[in-house]
Structure 1
Amino acid sequence: MKRYLLAFAGGASFVCLINRPLPVQAMPDLEVAHDTLQLNDAERLNTLNSSASYDVKSFHDSIIVNDTQAESIVSTDSKQQDSSILNQKQESKNLGLTAVPSSSLQATPRSSNRVAASDVISQVTSVSQLSDVQPTDWAFQALQSLVERYGCIAGYPNGTYRGNRAMTRYEFAAGLNACLNRVNELIATATADLVKKEDLTTLQKLQEDFTAELATLRGRVDVVEARTAELQANQFSTTTKLSGEAIIAGIGATGGASGSNDSNIILTNRVRLNLNTSFTGKDLLITGLQAHNFLGGVSGSGSLQKSLGLASPLLSASSARVSFEPQFPGVDVKTLSETGSNDIELYKLLYIFPVAKKLTLFAGTAAEVSDAFPTITPFYGEGQEAISRFAGLNPVVRVSGGTSGSGLASAAGFIFDISKQVDLRALYGSVNANITTSAADVAGLPGVSNTPLGAGVFGGSSIVATQLTFRPSSSLDIALNYAHSYHEINILGTGLTSSDIYSLAGVSLGIPVTLNSVGGTVSWRFSPKVALSGYGAAIFVNDSSGRVDASTTFTSWMAGLHFNDLFKPGNNAGILFGQPLYRTSADGDARLTPEGERRAVPYHLEAYYRFKVSDNISITPGAFVLFNPEGNSRNDTTTVGVLRTTFTF
């Protein structure tokens, strides 16, 4: 309601110009009463986020709608509506100060809200009758003129004016009407207090003095109207916003398996177009298209990690993978069919919609776990931040193809805002929902069909994942993750290590497995431009067939420092160290160390620096070093260097 107080002050000042010009003064402590809305709260789906005007970052620390794409889901926070209702209630309580005309007729709105008898207002003839108005008050002259010259301001029965109280729209209408009636009365009776000639002269002089400024403003308004009309005539859609990202990167590496040759420097690209559509202003439909030229296929042929000798026997899983490379390049993993370089694919199709004040639902046929869960670590951002797959997200979020980079899963879930500091999110995902029946086995791989992930929404490989996010303060974010997965074949589905395939070492690839994964991620911004972030994860793999007795545990951790505006505003940097996924125990028929390997703890060291060339272009040089790659000391220390250029629009 303070906005209305400002409006009334403007109206009162106009009336006072009849008496004498008033100096322009800033009104203190005026606040806008409405808040904005965000998806992933980005982080709300950030926020969603942010986001009724859907500011989406892949709906992260969204929809949001994120960060990066579209880094959050549309928030269901209805505080704005509640605030409006509360304001209406407050108006009915505040009907205590109403301006009246000099005839002492009190203006009251036609409403069930009536002024209490104890608050009846009386007309005052001198500003000195108002005990709480002092000559030092910034609006003293205006009040003095309105009271003593025009007689159209009233006070409370106790002799107070209460000038700092927010006014209602009814009070504004009554006060303005009273003053206008008084002016009309003066004109009609032709009293000596009629508007003076010198006042009109002053007004005319002001108009002449500001002729140039008024003409300039008129010209600007005309330009804005013309541009608005042009935008309306050529707009893409009234409901859809188009955004995009193009990444071009040079990648080189040395080291790898003993006896392998260094890879040639390669030039890669990945282009994404995102259509973010809102039908109601609170919902969000994300449609994403992408193309890339990473190679791999079923055998991993042509991939960087395969040339280094560090890839898994199938599907090129490795710790040498960069952040913006899809998990299964060159192959449709659902059917093991080959795909071509720069083929266009639908990597995102997801609909997010609120159903209650604190509850939002989402569903789609091309989605990833990271779409629904807020990103805690600042290193995540495939086109802007860390350059390795290891650094971006907790491995628990990546299990079962949760971050395949190709919208592998059909998923449905919810976001429940427990409070401003806590939210709970969960989903069910199936990576084979569009497959009717399983195909025949692949030759030489018993139990592995040409549809290796199974068939049907509730048959074959699936995942149930949840994340509980805490924000106890503005500088601290904490996330706890749990995922339960079932896989038709013996894999982890993270793409983070060569042990991703044959997760139960020594057990056939065709043996189905069950995964229980737990993890936590923390980000602490101990200064405005520096954050300490890290994660820890454990994945427990068990045989699910009953034909063997085998289990294995994998662990991983990471810690690093992230810098904002380093050396120049908009430039970010990161340095981090950690342990990639490593098999720490094995029981039953499972082996701890695959045959031919020399067991050793792997480590990952990474640094990068992002130059912000403009609002739409950034360049990120960086490198990461792998010690004991893939947990095998027989492998040479490996260095992967990246020069990444990212265009956003």
Structure 2
Amino acid sequence: MAQVTSVSQLSDVKPTDWAFQALQSLVERYGCIVGYPDKTYRGNRALTRYEFAAGLNACMDRINELIAAGTADLVKKEDLLAVQKLQEEFAAELATLRGRVGALEARTATLEKQQFSTTTKLSGEVLFSLAAAYGAYPGPRRNAAPFNTARTGLGAAADTTPGRDAQVVFNDRVRLKLLTSFSGKDLLITGLQAYNFGGGAGSLASRLGSLSGTLGYGDGVFGTASNVRLAYEPQFGTTNPSTLGNAPGANNSVGLYKLLYIFPVASTLTAFVGTGAEVDDAFPTIVPFYGDAQEGISRFGQMNPILRISGGTSGIGLAAAGGLIWNVSNAIDIRALYGSVNANLPSNLGFPGTPLGAGVFGGSYVAAAQLTLKPFKTLDVALNYAHSYHQINILGLGESAVAIGAIPNVAATTSVKLDSFGLTAAYRLTPKISLTGFFFYSMVDAASGADAGTDLLSYMGGIHFKDVLSSGSTAGILFGQPPSRVNTSGLASRLPTLENAKPYHLEVYYKYRLSDNISITPGLFVVFNPEGFSGNPTVFVPVIRTTFSF
């Protein structure tokens, strides 16, 4: 509300209005009428007795000020009598109003003394998960294989021991975010996390600490790169792949997983930079299944794999990144970034010391761009391109075992370069029903040594529902193909690759919103031909996820 000194300042009050003179007297004689910020009075709106009491109180305070200032001659006797009568009639409302104001002032004083910060807001999320997995690798037989076979270049590490169905596991993840603004237009994001998910480099026991590793479908290094991945599991388990040390937050320790600063450069241009970032911090995912604590239950269904390339969504803030966001218009948005997963390391020791490289511009990196279009209010489209270089033979996706030993029949230490393309769309049939899907294609070539390469393809389609059975509850059904090989070239094609089928993913989930701060999500995803082998049993992963947000 804004104080006015002349009734002419109220744009919706005209001299022909029946109450014009009364308003003019209250505004210009006593100054006890305020208008809305848009300079309107809105005289036709209904008024409660409490609102009238508030206005009456303002006029009484103003009259007292005039009398105290020695300008009592400006106050008419009949006005004083009218105010006195109104004061008597609205005595109860005025008393209640004063009580409310007093209580509000007391609460404000308490908050000012106890507030965490004048510039920082704290938000948090606690996730509990019950999950199991059935359909383990049966051991060597026709058209059945784990990932870590001789075709990957991990030859001596190949292990064809049968896997096991996973027991029901109870996991947690806790995240706290500090959102700080110094100017009201910028934002510093500081994130802390702790989790007890397993998997990771090291011993066999470490690799078997994940659902995928237990089933026998995880990669031979971390045991986590697989078609069988929960949405909220960290990509590399308990390991930081840049140093092969512990990941931030692993084993329910507390670690820094996000540190990112976003600030305006011009009216339509925003920059961001940070040492702990994820690609989805900067690029819109478009897919309505996105939200690892609130929506889809699998890693595959969350977003287009092109956003995950090169460890872009590791879950541990692996990459240091910087970039720009250009809001061309309400319908066009262009974003670009450069990221390095080894920016904090000064010396490149190679494998296994610093397997991904060292320095901001040395070793592994990704340069990516996204064009987001909104041609209609009901349609969102994203076009992506990413160029990556990896010091070792990996993709950094975390969605398929082929992400480790990406080019078959060459050494694990072979450096690779990738050119990846993505298309994502979401169409809202109604405000509560959306169709969505993505397409991903990546060309991977050896950057050193032998002439070898491979291409990968992935796609997904699904339908998303809002307000299912209750307000705020959502549901999703999706089907697609996780990233898998479509061809090989050079040395990679001299020996036949062993995959004889395409993996397929089917998922259904329902998020029930218990309250504004609590949701429960039961769901199931099924993987056919896990890791691309028709002899591997179909995998079933039932999940119950509970999320507390504050």
- TM-score (normalised: structure 1): 0.70
The AA in structure 2 aligned to 1:262 is D
Helix, strand or coil at the partner of 1:264: strand
The AA in structure 1 aligned to 2:483 is L
Distance 1:507 1:360 in 2: 42
1:403 aligns with 2:330: no
Query: Superposed, which structure 2 residues align to 1:38-77 within 5 Å?
Result: none
Equivalence for 1:108: none
Equivalence for 1:383: 293
User: Post-superposition shift, 1:10?
Assistant: 11
Q: Against the structure 1 CA distance between its residues 594 and 382, is the aligned structure 2 distance closer, same or farther, given a 3 Å change threshold?
A: farther
User: Post-superposition shift, 1:256?
Assistant: 2.9
Helix, strand or coil at the partner of 2:441: strand
User: Post-superposition shift, 1:195?
Assistant: 5.6
1:199-244 Cα offsets, whole Å, 9 max, x none, are 6544333221111111111101111110010000001111111111
Conserved? CA contact 1:505–1:592, under 8 Å = no
1:321 aligns with 2:224: no
1:613 aligns with 2:514: yes
Distance 2:193 2:494 in 1: 39
User: Post-superposition shift, 1:298?
Assistant: 1.2
Q: Against the structure 1 CA distance between its residues 330 and 167, is the aligned structure 2 distance closer, same or farther, given a 3 Å change threshold?
A: closer
> Which 5+ residue runs of structure 1 have no aligned equivalent?
13-26, 31-96, 98-126, 128-132, 134-138, 154-165, 169-179, 181-187, 441-447
1:601 aligns with 2:502: yes
The AA in structure 1 aligned to 2:545 is R
User: Post-superposition shift, 1:439?
Assistant: 2.5
The AA in structure 1 aligned to 2:471 is P
User: Post-superposition shift, 1:380?
Assistant: 0.6
> Which 5+ residue runs of structure 2 have no aligned equivalent?
30-37, 41-62, 64-70, 140-162
Helix, strand or coil at the partner of 2:538: strand
1:535 aligns with 2:412: no
User: Post-superposition shift, 1:449?
Assistant: 2.8
User: Post-superposition shift, 1:428?
Assistant: 0.7
Equivalence for 2:66: none
1:342 aligns with 2:342: no
1:142 aligns with 2:49: no
1:566 aligns with 2:476: no
Distance 1:593 1:311 in 2: 23
Conserved? CA contact 1:438–1:449, under 8 Å = no
Helix, strand or coil at the partner of 1:391: helix
The AA in structure 2 aligned to 1:523 is A
Q: Indicate which of 305, 316, 322 corresponds to 1:412.
A: 322
Q: Against the structure 1 CA distance between its residues 10 and 386, is the aligned structure 2 distance closer, same or farther, given a 3 Å change threshold?
A: farther
User: Post-superposition shift, 1:454?
Assistant: 0.7
The AA in structure 1 aligned to 2:523 is G
Distance 1:471 1:321 in 2: 31
User: Post-superposition shift, 1:342?
Assistant: 1.4
- What stretches of structure 1 move > 6 A for 4+ residues in a row? 3-7, 144-147
Query: Superposed, which structure 2 residues align to 1:8-23 within 5 Å?
Result: none
1:285 aligns with 2:285: no
User: Post-superposition shift, 1:5?
Assistant: 10
Query: Superposed, which structure 2 residues align to 1:175-186 within 5 Å?
Result: none
Distance 2:495 2:527 in 1: 19
Helix, strand or coil at the partner of 2:322: strand
Distance 1:594 1:266 in 2: 38
1:602-640 Cα offsets, whole Å, 9 max, x none, are 111001111111111111110100011111111100010
Conserved? CA contact 2:285–2:304, under 8 Å = no
Q: Indicate which of 448, 471, 477 corresponds to 1:575.
A: 477
Equivalence for 2:164: 261
Helix, strand or coil at the partner of 1:590: helix
Q: Against the structure 1 CA distance between its residues 143 and 246, is the aligned structure 2 distance closer, same or farther, given a 3 Å change threshold?
A: closer
Q: CA RMSD in A?
A: 3.0
1:227 aligns with 2:130: no
Equivalence for 1:136: none
Distance 1:592 1:561 in 2: 41
Conserved? CA contact 1:583–1:592, under 8 Å = no
Query: Superposed, which structure 2 residues align to 1:114-263 within 5 Å?
Result: 133=16, 139=17, 141-143=18-20, 197=78, 201-259=81-139, 260-263=163-166
User: Post-superposition shift, 1:257?
Assistant: 1.6
Distance 1:380 1:618 in 2: 15
Distance 1:413 1:328 in 2: 25
Equivalence for 1:483: 386
The AA in structure 2 aligned to 1:275 is L
Equivalence for 2:417: 514
Conserved? CA contact 2:7–2:23, under 8 Å = no
Query: Superposed, which structure 2 residues align to 1:624-639 within 5 Å?
Result: 624-639=525-540
Distance 2:526 2:210 in 1: 18
1:426-481 Cα offsets, whole Å, 9 max, x none, are 111111111122226xxxxxxx3321101111110001011111122322111111
Distance 1:167 1:439 in 2: 67
Instruction: Work out the number of aligned pairs and report it.
Output: 483
Distance 1:4 1:289 in 2: 42
Conserved? CA contact 1:536–1:557, under 8 Å = yes
- Larger radius of gyration, structure 1 or 2? 1
Equivalence for 2:487: 585
Conserved? CA contact 2:198–2:237, under 8 Å = yes
Q: Against the structure 1 CA distance between its residues 311 and 591, is the aligned structure 2 distance closer, same or farther, given a 3 Å change threshold?
A: farther
Distance 2:334 2:471 in 1: 34
Distance 2:533 2:9 in 1: 79
User: Post-superposition shift, 1:246?
Assistant: 1.0
Q: Against the structure 1 CA distance between its residues 228 and 167, is the aligned structure 2 distance closer, same or farther, given a 3 Å change threshold?
A: closer
The AA in structure 1 aligned to 2:271 is L
Equivalence for 2:398: 495
Equivalence for 1:301: 208
User: Post-superposition shift, 1:327?
Assistant: 0.4
Distance 2:347 2:21 in 1: 86
Q: Against the structure 1 CA distance between its residues 323 and 201, is the aligned structure 2 distance closer, same or farther, given a 3 Å change threshold?
A: same
Larger relative contact order, structure 1 or 2 (CA cutoff 8 Å, min sep 6) = 2
1:518-550 Cα offsets, whole Å, 9 max, x none, are 1011111111111111111101101111x2111
1:623 aligns with 2:535: no
Conserved? CA contact 2:444–2:455, under 8 Å = yes
Distance 1:525 1:146 in 2: 49
Equivalence for 2:375: 472
